[in-house]
Amino acid sequence: MSGPVLVTGAAGRIGTVLRGGLPERGWAVRCLDVVPIVDTRPGEEQVVADAADLAAMVDAAAGASAVVHLAGHSGESTWPVISRSHIESTYCALEAARRAGIDRVVLASSNHATGFTPRPASGLLREADAPPRPDTYYGAAKVAMEALASLYADRYGMDVVCLRIGSAFPEPTALRHLSTWLSPADSVALVDAALTAPAPGFAVVWGVSANTRNWWDLSAARALGYEPQDDAEVYAEALIEAYGEPDLADPVHARVGGDYVLPSFDAQE
């Protein structure tokens, strides 16, 4: 690889994890975020800019070898916030990569692109079994992200890997996370696999750890070279003691999007 990987949203939750882990896997990191990173690490480059600003993104992409696009409001918000921070910024990430001659882009999609999909009572959902079924504006923006990825892969021959991330947190804190957790170490492993897989073209893969209670099939992610190490099950006893076993009749547990499907997440002004 030559040139750093441009990581947008580098000051955020997953960005911070990648800043720690990608260098250990041989990647130099160029950070981009709207807020300055205060604990800059040795060798790290920093750009303070909005990922939805095409000119800034074109400048930031110059000389990079790949783009990992994480920037965007993490969760549901108003349409102006969601459309700019996810859809406009995804266009900018892809277009800046194309103009810079970068042919590998990794996009942080989300399980919420398919959030109204019923949770399977048994068996595993493959990506192909879960067409777009967004639960929020946020989820709909991730569907648009995946569509833009498909466009840039088909039209320009770029490799664009969309990671439908589950719950990327330091540790599981809710019953649902026993199925949806993506650990920090596995976040790094998954992004590294998406960056290095030979010629993936357009790909959409689930982003979760090797959780005993997974409802998403990891075959497609493993085919990229992802080897998850963590399993949320080590937290099961404590979470089930606190909250009881998940009740599939409860709307929060009936659909893969969890509480995002509830009326409290109705579209905001």
Active-site residue set:
138
Kindly provide the b/e burial profile for residues 249-261, where b requires at least 16 CB atoms within 10 angstroms of the residue's own CB: eeebbbbbbbebb
DSSP state at residue 114: G
Q: Which two tokens stand for residue 48?
A: 């303070």
- Shortest distance (Å) from residue 5 CB to ligand 15L: 21
Residues of this chain, 160-219, that bind ligand 15L according to CB under 6 A: 165, 167, 180
Site stretch for ligand 15L (CB under 6 A), options 23-31, 108-116, 209-217, 219-227: 108-116
Helix axis angle for 89-100 and 54-61, nearest 10°, is: 40
Distance CA 143, CA 133 (A): 8
Kindly provide the b/e burial profile for residues 91-119, where b requires at least 16 CB atoms within 10 angstroms of the residue's own CB: bbbbbbbbebebbbbbbbbbbbbbbbbeb
DSSP state at residue 3: S
**According to the binding rule CB under 6 A, does residue 74 interact with ligand 15L?**
yes
Compute the C-alpha angle 169/171/177, nearest 5°.
80
Distance CA 157, CA 129 (A): 25
User: What is the contact mask toward ligand 15L in residues 13 to 52, using x (rule: CB under 6 A)?
Assistant: ----------------------------------------
- Shortest distance (Å) from residue 19 CB to ligand 15L: 18
Nearer to ligand 15L, 85 or 167 (CB): 167
Q: Which two tokens stand for residue 140?
A: 């709909």
- Shortest distance (Å) from residue 99 CB to ligand 15L: 28
- Shortest distance (Å) from residue 250 CB to ligand 15L: 16
Nearer to ligand 15L, 100 or 210 (CB): 210
Side chain identity, residue 146: E
Nearer to ligand 15L, 112 or 255 (CB): 112
- Shortest distance (Å) from residue 204 CB to ligand 15L: 14
Nearer to ligand 15L, 30 or 164 (CB): 164
Q: Residue from 40, 55, 75, 262 that binds ligand 15L (CB under 6 A)?
A: 75
Exposed/middle/buried for residue 172 (C-beta within 10 Å: 0-12, 13-18, 19+): buried
Compute the C-alpha angle 171/145/95, nearest 5°.
120
Nearer to ligand 15L, 64 or 68 (CB): 68
- The size of the interface with ligand 15L (CB under 6 A), counted in residues, is 9
Nearer to ligand 15L, 31 or 113 (CB): 113
Helix, strand, or coil here: 222?
helix
- The residues of the shown chain that bind ligand 15L, judged by CB under 6 A, are 74-75, 110-112, 165, 167, 180, 258
